[in-house]
Amino acid sequence: MQFYKTLEDILQTSKPHDKIEKFNKFYKQYKLNNISHDNSHKPVVFKEPSFTKHCKIVPAQQVPRRRKLTTNEDKAILIHAITHIEYSAIDLALDAAYRFKNLPKKFYDDWLEVADDEIRHFLLLESMLKELDYNYGDFNVHAFLFDTSMATLNLVDRMACVPRYLEASGLDANPQIITKVKKLNSPFSDNLIKTLTIILDEEIDHVKKGDYWFKYACKKENIDPANFYKIVEKYLL
């Protein structure tokens, strides 16, 4: 099994469970060291996200907004938004492993482990959606995370913008959502809080990985890590 070509196929797989099945087969072989690496492979700059055929993509301002969580639809809108972030994060982690070559094995270990975590998060949230009689893809989504990934095609910028800024910002948002959900005081809220707590704990580790590889890339490229905000401002602010 060839590392980059297989990841390229997984990244372009649209149906979530097909993508997950392909990744699980690949990851099993990766951990068994049954993978070859062709570093002459040229990564594709993808023109559209893998979920294009599964979800309707709209500008971020047109994505449905949650209200007071009093109806199943309100709850589903909230969970769907988080589910979409986690699904996008699967591709973000896979793309890091796919796009950046000639790095220590730990880099690929780290981002494939992150992808595996994001898959578990997605499945937990998807099951909650189904309990409400909704599915991933039932609401419109945006492609902001994908667009950011395809704009940051060098390691320093990617690590700065995605795990070190966007994922870190998600760490701040997660407790705020938990606080709001607690007010519902229901089996639904208890289950969602449990899921969000699992995600929060594991996302902290993802941000730490991003910080490590950002500093590694800065050292390699002789870039001052203090330029972090200038890099983020270039793409996101």
Q: What is the pLDDT along the chain (237 residues), one digit of tens a residue?
A: 999 999 999 999 999 999 999 999 999 999 999 999 988 999 999 999 999 999 999 998 899 986 678 889 999 999 999 999 999 999 999 999 999 999 999 999 999 999 999 999 999 999 999 999 999 999 999 999 999 999 999 999 999 999 999 999 988 888 888 888 888 878 888 999 999 999 999 999 999 999 999 999 999 999 999 999 999 999 998
Q: Does domain 3-235 have CATH number 1.20.1260.10?
A: yes
Residue 216 CB-half CA count within 13 A: 14
Q: Find the radius of gyration of the CA atoms of the chain.
A: 18
pLDDT at 181: 87
* Domain locations along the chain: 3-235
pLDDT at 56: 96
pLDDT at 88: 97
pLDDT at 184: 82
pLDDT at 146: 97
Residues 6+ apart with CB under 8 A from 196: 82, 174, 177, 178, 181
Pairwise CA distance, residues 207 & 224, whole Å: 19
Of the candidates 81, 175, 157, the one whose C-alpha atom is nearest the C-alpha of residue 125 is 81
Distance of CA 212 to the CA centre of its chain: 18
Distance of CA 93 to the CA centre of its chain: 6
Q: CA 82 → CA 7, 31, 129, 195, distances in Å?
A: 24, 29, 11, 11
Contact between 164 and 207 under an 8 Å Cβ cutoff? The reply is yes
pTM above 0.75, yes or no: yes
Measure the CA angle with vertex 153, ends 159 and 211; round to 5°.
Answer: 5
